[in-house]
Amino acid sequence: MNLSIIGAGYVGLVTACCFAELGHKVKCIEKDSEKVKMLKKGSIPIYEPGLEEILKKNIGKNLFFTTSIADGVKESPVIFICVGTPQDRRGSADLFQVEEVAREIARNINGYKLIVEKSTVPLDSHIWINKTIQRFAKKGVTFDVASNPEFLKEGSAIEDFMKPDRIVIGVSSERAKKILLDLYSNFKCKKIVTNPQTSKLIKYSANIFLATKISFINNIADISEKVGADVNVVADAIGVDERIGRAFLNAGVGYGGSCLPKDVKAFIKIAESAGIDFKILKEIDRYNDERPLMIVKKVKEALWILKDKEIAIFGLSFKPNTDDIREAASLKIIPQLLAENARIRLYDPVAELQFRKIFPESEAVRYFKTPYEAVEGAHLLLILTEWEDFKKIDINKIAGLMVIPIVVDGRNIFPPAKMKKTGFEYYSIGRV
C-alpha cells in the first residue's frame, strides 16, 4: 500500500520504518526540516536498537521523508497521524498538532482517504478530526477516521511492532475496516475490531493498568522494608498466578518515560470530563510523583549530610536500552541532591548527550566515560536505571574505588547478600 505517516517522533518513525520494511511504500512527513535532513542521510535522532539499520535499508526505495503534508496526502490513500500529544498545563493531552494536521489534510484531500490515529489521543478526538476535515475540505470529499493505537515500548520498539500481542482497529465503516485488516493481513496475532472510542480506551486502559501494577508493587516494597519482607519474592510468587502475571511488578524508582506518566494524568482528565472521579488513578499518579523524593530520602538516610559528598549515579534514561530521559527519575532526583550541595558524578551508556542539554557539566555535575571512573572517590553510588552492563559490573573493583562503599540501588539489580559480603553498605527497594 501507499502509506503516509505524519510525524517522525518515536511512534511515527518506528511505524514508517517497519511498514517500509514490510514492503509498503511509505512517505514520512515531519515539519522539522533539520530532522528530515538527518533522516534522509540515514541517521536517526533517537537511540532505538535496530531502527537505523531498517531506515538505511529502505530509504529511497520504500521509504521517503518530506516536510510537505500536501505531497503525502495526495499520494496516499491511508494516512497515519503520529504527531505528539504533549501534556497541557492541566494534565490533559494537548491536541493542537493533531488539529493542525487535520486542517492540512483537509486542504489537500483529492479522493477517498482513510485517516488513522496512532498517537494516544482522547476518546472523542476522531469526532473532532472528522468535523475539522468536513469544515476545511471541499464539499463532497469522502474519508474515514479510524483508530489504530500503537503499543510499542522504547528499547524493543521494532520487535513490538513486528510481533505485537494484538492489533486494535477502531473503525466506523466497513471500508475502513477492510483497508486496515488488509494492511495487517500478514500479522498472525489477535485482531480486535471495534469502534474508535473503544479502541482508544483499550490503549489508555493498557497504559494506566501497567502504571497501576508499578505503583502497587512499589507500595508493597515500602511495606516490605518496614516489616523485613522481600518484595522480589512477593512479586515472583504472586506473578506465578496467571491472573496476576510477573511482568511490571519490578519495584523501583517509579515509572517514567513519554507515555505512562502523561497517559495517567490525561486519563484522570478524560474521566473527569465524563463526570467520573477516578480516585485510584489519582492516587497512583500522586504516589509515583513522590517516588523520587523517597529515593532522595534513602540517600540522606545513608549519608546523613549531603554537602560536599560525591554521589555517583549510574543510569540517566527512564529505563534501559534508550537514551530517552523524558520523565526519568534522574531528572527529579539530581536537582534535590544538588540543592543539598552534593556533587554529582554521572554515568549512562547512551543518555549522556541528552542529559547534558539539561544539566551541563559544572563543578557540581560531572560526566564520566566508564562506570569505574564515575565511582572513583565517591561516597555513595546511586543506581537509577537497570542497564544490563551494570548487572555485570566488577563490584569488588567498585568497592575499592569508592571512599565509602555505600550503594543505594533504586532498581534492585544486585543480590543484597553478595553486596554485604563484598563490604558494601547496601540499600535497595523493598528488600532487607
**Catalytic site residue from 17, 18, 82, 259:** 259
Q: At what angle do helices 329-339 and 279-303 cross, to 10 degrees?
A: 40
Q: How far is the CB of 316 from ligand UDX (least distance, A)?
A: 12
- Closer by beta carbon to ligand UDX, 55 or else 260: 260
Q: Is 316 helix (H, G, I), strand (E, B) or coil?
A: coil
Phi, psi at 397, each rounded to 5°: -65, -45
How far is the C-alpha of 35 from the C-alpha of 222, rounded, in Å? 44
- The verdict on 249 binding ligand UDX (CB under 6 A) reads yes
Whether 259 is catalytic is: yes
368 forms part of the interface with ligand UDX (CB under 6 A): no
Q: Does 152 bind ligand UDX (CB under 6 A)?
A: yes
Are 77 and 1 in contact, with CB atoms under 8 Å apart? Answer: yes
252 lines the binding site for ligand UDX (CB under 6 A) = yes
Q: Does the protein bind ligand UDX through residue 196 (CB under 6 A)?
A: no
Nearest of 259, 244, 263, 145 to residue 201 by alpha carbon: 263
207 binds ligand UDX (CB under 6 A): yes
The least CB distance from residue 92 to ligand UDX, in Å, is 18
Q: With binding defined as CB under 6 A, does residue 319 bind ligand UDX?
A: yes
Identify the residue among 19, 318, 355, 414 touching ligand UDX (CB under 6 A).
318
SS3 414: coil
Q: Is 210 in the site for ligand UDX (CB under 6 A)?
A: yes
Question: Which residue's entry shows cell 531498517?
Answer: 54
Please report, to the nearest 10 degrees, the dihedral formed by the alpha carbons of residues 387, 393, 395, 399 taken in order.
Answer: -80
Euclidean distance between CA atoms 227 and 248, whole angstroms:
23
Give how far the C-alpha of residue 399 lies from the chain's centroid of Cα atoms, to the nearest Å. 33
Region binding ligand UDX by CB under 6 A among candidate stretches 50-58, 132-140, 207-215, 297-305? 207-215
* Contact assessment for residue 63 and residue 16, using Cβ atoms and an 8 Å cutoff: yes
Q: Binding ligand UDX by CB under 6 A: which of 153, 175, 269, 356?
A: 153
Q: Which residues are catalytic?
A: 259
- Positions in the binding site for ligand UDX (CB under 6 A): 150-154, 207, 210, 214, 248-250, 252, 255-257, 259-260, 318-319
